[in-house]
């Protein structure tokens, strides 16, 4: 089957290449003039980086493998500084490139390091998890974490290209794959209800890379993100819809010291946002229940302990959508109809959380 190419438009357009066994497409995503390529990858997953490094070497590039810690532990200023030093030692110039291979944390880090080295070198991302393919690697937002919160320090730098080789999804732990499915389902609620129907048609099949709808689900979610970020790279307006469920999700992740999977937190956050929408009179209970039902059907969580609310409320005040002292939430005005809720009362926020407390 041939590769699918989705173009992300904007001031710096690029292609997302999707298919099975498409690694040979990687060198063609670079802009001309590249001599040295630094490959940032998780140290524990050399089997993912080796074929990438081999493909680049065969294409004539000088390849510098740069291993980093797994997951969110890589997204620190200390790790970024180590990578900057390595890029300097290996003589990576402004005409060279960085490749990020791995999950969303690795592609976030690679994009951030590329954006800040020499004020910006090109980066190509090769996501290897469902979450990274459908969310983190597409869009040009790059970031690292601080003790105060997730992705509070970051950049906007569109990649030169993104390569989604679906073959890398095979063998993913089920829990990790299902966590990535949360971002796909989010796309169904905010933009493309066909996604929801495909998952509801066979939830068990949706939970595996070998499912009959896997490629379509990936392509539909990437198309949503491409359409949104192509129109609003810097999150000035439209792009905020992609944060549906994320205000509470990021607070939960911080409370869990980033040990909870991002998609699991997003699932809980989507139920909270749906309850906010209902209590504000925007949607009916049927859409809230559909949210719970579809998330539950694939094994994602939909509640969080009531006792955690005071801590979560404090964390939410550092959300990136806050303007001044005014909290802002992405909510639903209907299926695939997104709205904003600005300055909600504490009573409304509390009531919505009580509706999801387990």
Q: What mean pLDDT comes out for the span 152-159?
A: 91
| Per annotation, catalytic residue among 262, 278, 320, 328 | 262
| Per annotation, catalytic residue among 41, 186, 221, 250 | 250
Q: Which fold has domain 4-169?
A: Rossmann fold (3.40.50)
Burial class (CB in 10 A: 0-12, 13-18, 19+), 20: middle
pTM above 0.75, yes or no: yes
The per-residue pLDDT for 358 is 80
The per-residue pLDDT for 323 is 52
Q: How confident is the model at residue 6 (pLDDT cuts 50, 70, 90)?
A: very high
Smallest CA-to-CA distance from 267 within 336, 341, 330, 181 is with 181
The per-residue pLDDT for 139 is 85
Q: Is 315 a catalytic residue?
A: no
Question: For 10-69, how does the pLDDT look when each residue is reduced to its tens digit (9 = 90+)?
Answer: 888 999 999 999 999 999 999 999 999 999 999 998 888 999 999 999 999 999 999 999
Smallest CA-to-CA distance from 335 within 280, 276, 284, 266 is with 284
The per-residue pLDDT for 230 is 81
| Per annotation, catalytic residue among 220, 221, 225, 254 | 225
Q: Is 257 a catalytic residue?
A: no
pLDDT score of 158 more than 60: yes
Mean pLDDT rounded to a whole number for the chain: 93
| Per annotation, catalytic residue among 186, 220, 221, 246 | 246
pLDDT score of 1 more than 70: no
The per-residue pLDDT for 321 is 56
Q: Is 262 a catalytic residue?
A: yes
The per-residue pLDDT for 354 is 97
> Is 143 in contact with 116 (CB distance < 8 Å)?
no
pLDDT score of 330 more than 60: yes
The per-residue pLDDT for 150 is 79
Query: Is the model more confident about 40 or about 236?
Result: 40
- Rounded Cα–Cα distance for residues 99 and 110 (Å): 7
- Rounded Cα–Cα distance for residues 169 and 48 (Å): 11
Q: What mean pLDDT comes out for the span 204-226?
A: 96
Binding residues for Zn(2+): 183, 246, 262
pLDDT score of 281 more than 70: yes
Residue position matching structure tokens 């001309």: 32
Question: For 213-223, how does the pLDDT look when each residue is reduced to its tens digit (9 = 90+)?
Answer: 999 999 999 99
The per-residue pLDDT for 26 is 95
Residues forming CATH 3.40.50.1970 domain(s) in the chain? 4-169
Binding residues: 70-75, 104-108, 128-129, 141, 150, 183, 246, 262
pLDDT score of 348 more than 90: yes
Cα distance from N-terminal residue to C-terminal residue, the chain: 45
**Tokens in use for 122?**
């090109």
> Is 340 in contact with 333 (CB distance < 8 Å)?
no
The per-residue pLDDT for 236 is 61
> Is 157 in contact with 140 (CB distance < 8 Å)?
yes
Instruction: Name the percent of the chain lying above pLDDT 90.
Output: 84
> Is 7 in contact with 14 (CB distance < 8 Å)?
yes
Smallest CA-to-CA distance from 190 within 340, 313, 328, 316 is with 340
Q: How confident is the model at residue 140 (pLDDT cuts 50, 70, 90)?
A: confident
Q: Is 142 a catalytic residue?
A: no
Q: Is 148 a catalytic residue?
A: no
| Per annotation, catalytic residue among 78, 89, 119, 257 | 119
Smallest CA-to-CA distance from 249 within 272, 229, 228, 225 is with 272
- Rounded Cα–Cα distance for residues 116 and 111 (Å): 9
Q: How confident is the model at residue 238 (pLDDT cuts 50, 70, 90)?
A: confident
> Is 318 in contact with 152 (CB distance < 8 Å)?
yes
- Rounded Cα–Cα distance for residues 33 and 298 (Å): 46
| Per annotation, catalytic residue among 25, 41, 141, 320 | 141
| Per annotation, catalytic residue among 200, 216, 235, 256 | 235
pLDDT score of 233 more than 80: no
Stretch among 144-148, 199-203, 254-258 having the lowest mean pLDDT: 144-148
The per-residue pLDDT for 239 is 80
- How many residues would you count in the chain? 358
Q: Which fold has domain 174-356?
A: Dehydroquinate synthase-like, alpha domain (1.20.1090)
Q: Is 119 a catalytic residue?
A: yes
Binding residues for NAD(+): 70-75, 104-108, 128-129, 141, 150
Q: Is 221 a catalytic residue?
A: no
The answer to whether the Cα torsion of 264, 251, 282, 236 is positive or negative is negative
The per-residue pLDDT for 146 is 87
Q: Is 246 a catalytic residue?
A: yes
Q: How confident is the model at residue 108 (pLDDT cuts 50, 70, 90)?
A: very high
The per-residue pLDDT for 324 is 52
Residues forming CATH 1.20.1090.10 domain(s) in the chain? 174-356
CA distances from 225 to 106, 183, 189, 191, 192 (A): 19, 11, 13, 10, 11
pLDDT score of 147 more than 60: yes
Question: For 282-322, how does the pLDDT look when each residue is reduced to its tens digit (9 = 90+)?
Answer: 999 999 999 999 999 999 999 999 999 999 999 998 765 55
């Amino acid at each position: 089957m041939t590769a699918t190419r989705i173009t992300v438009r904007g001031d710096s357009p690029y292609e997302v290449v999707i298919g099975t066994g498409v690694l040979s497409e990687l060198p063609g995503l670079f802009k001309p003039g590249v001599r040295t390529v630094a490959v940032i990858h998780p140290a524990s997953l050399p089997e993912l980086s080796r074929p990438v490094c081999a493909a680049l070497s065969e294409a004539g590039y000088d390849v510098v493998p740069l291993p980093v810690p797994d997951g969110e532990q890589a997204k620190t200023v200390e790790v970024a500084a180590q990578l900057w030093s390595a890029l300097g030692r290996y003589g990576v110039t402004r005409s060279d490139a960085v490749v990020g291979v791995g999950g969303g944390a690795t592609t976030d880090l690679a994009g951030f390091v590329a954006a800040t080295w020499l004020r910006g070198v090109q980066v190509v991302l090769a996501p290897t998890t469902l979450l990274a393919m459908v969310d983190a690697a597409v869009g040009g937002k790059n970031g690292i974490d601080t003790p105060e919160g997730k992705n509070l320090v970051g950049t906007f730098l569109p990649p030169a290209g993104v390569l989604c080789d679906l073959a890398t999804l095979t063998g993913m732990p089920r829990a990790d794959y299902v966590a990535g499915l949360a971002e796909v389902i989010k796309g169904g609620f905010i933009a493309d209800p066909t996604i929801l129907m495909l998952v509801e048609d066979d939830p068990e099949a949706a939970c595996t890379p070998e499912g009959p709808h896997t490629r379509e689900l990936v392509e539909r979610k990437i198309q949503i993100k491409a359409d949104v970020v192509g129109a609003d790279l810097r999150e000035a307006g439209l792009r905020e819809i992609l944060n549906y469920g994320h205000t509470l999700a990021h607070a939960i992740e911080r409370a869990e010291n980033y040990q909870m999977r991002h998609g699991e937190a997003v699932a809980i956050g989507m139920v909270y946002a749906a309850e906010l929408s209902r209590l504000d009179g925007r949607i009916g209970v049927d859409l809230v229940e559909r949210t719970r039902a579809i998330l539950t059907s694939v094994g994602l969580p939909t509640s969080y302990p009531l006792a955690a609310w005071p801590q979560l409320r404090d964390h939410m005040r550092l959300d990136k959508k806050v303007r001044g002292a005014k909290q802002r939430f992405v909510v639903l005005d209907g299926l695939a109809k997104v709205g904003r809720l600005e300055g909600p009362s504490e009573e409304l926020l509390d009531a919505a959380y009580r509706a999801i407390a387990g």
